[in-house]
Amino acid sequence: MPDYVFEPGPRPTIPVQGTDKLFPVRRVYCVGRNYLDHIVEMGNDPNREEPFFFQKPSDAIVPLGGKVPYPPLTKNFHHEVEYVLAIGKEGFEIPVADAGSHVFGVALGIDLTRRDLQFEARDGGRPWEVGKAFDHAGPCSAIKPLNGGPVPKSAAIKLSVNGAVKQNGDIRMMIWNADEIVAQLSRSYRLMPGDVIFTGTPAGVGPLQRGDKIDASLEGIAELHVEIV
């Protein structure tokens, strides 16, 4: 047995729908600017460019949602509802045609963002981590296994805050679809079982306050409920 200087903590996991099994999370990748309407609302160039990626720590995942603490240092804390891909097979430089075979299952997530800190970092030419990669920054539903079936390319995705709809789109509106995202990401990193990919958010992102209740859904796949405390 390894002789650790201290006992390592548990590996983050996400439940798998319809089973008692857990999906062990290795890395959490996120896609920036993958819905045209969100690109426009954030004041960015709407032309189709290659997707770019950033990461959250694996222990930022909040499995099944629930209570999420309002994070420190921010005065502009935002929700971003997202379609999530869970990787189940290793691959590097994966062709688009083969990308679906690497996806174990799909889920619904919320990319929580300290928007003010993100923009300060962006405008200063610094990395985004302070705005994206903080504790509890990635609530995620249980994963729906695909069991070898195709990766969904169309499904309504919606988020409400205190009963008021804020984001309402469809994953078919993604500039880069699920297979293309897996293929593009695998050009930069060797994807491994346990990797999770948040695929971007539609328009309607906005602020959250303590006490807000979030209800999110991805048609035919998952629901997610979060309370900011």
Per-residue pLDDT tens over the stretch 67-92: 999 999 999 999 999 999 999 999 99
**Average pLDDT value for residue range 49-54:** 85
DSSP, collapsed to helix, strand or coil, labels residue 40 as helix
| Angle 92-34-25 from CA coordinates, rounded to 5° | 50
DSSP, collapsed to helix, strand or coil, labels residue 185 as helix
Cβ distance 94 to 85 under 8 Å? no
| Range in 37-46, 159-168, 192-201, 216-225 the model is least confident about | 37-46
Whole-model pTM? Answer: 0.95
Average pLDDT of every residue of the chain: 94
Which pLDDT band, with edges at 50, 70 and 90, does 48 fall under? low
Which pLDDT band, with edges at 50, 70 and 90, does 35 fall under? confident
Per-residue pLDDT tens over the stretch 153-170: 999 999 999 999 999 999
Of the candidates 174, 169, 176, 152, the residue with the CA atom closest to the CA atom of residue 51: 176
**CB-side neighbour CA atoms (13 Å) of 157:** 28
Task: Enter the tokens of residue 92.
Answer: 């590097």
Q: Which amino acid is at 190?
A: R
DSSP, collapsed to helix, strand or coil, labels residue 54 as strand
Which pLDDT band, with edges at 50, 70 and 90, does 208 fall under? very high
Whether the predicted pLDDT of 40 surpasses 60: no
Gyration radius from the chain CA atoms:
17
Task: Enter the tokens of residue 184.
Answer: 């593009």
Which pLDDT band, with edges at 50, 70 and 90, does 46 fall under? low
Q: Strand (E) positions, the chain?
A: 13-15, 22-24, 28-32, 52-56, 61-63, 66-68, 77-79, 81-87, 103-110, 113-114, 138-140, 144-145, 156-161, 164-170, 196-198, 206-207, 213-218, 222-228
What is the CA 103 to chain-centroid distance, rounded? 15
CATH topology of domain 13-228: Fumarylacetoacetate hydrolase; domain 2 (3.90.850)
**Residue that the structure tokens 């709407």 belong to:** 46
Q: Where are the domains of the chain?
A: 13-228
Please give the pLDDT value at position 67: 98
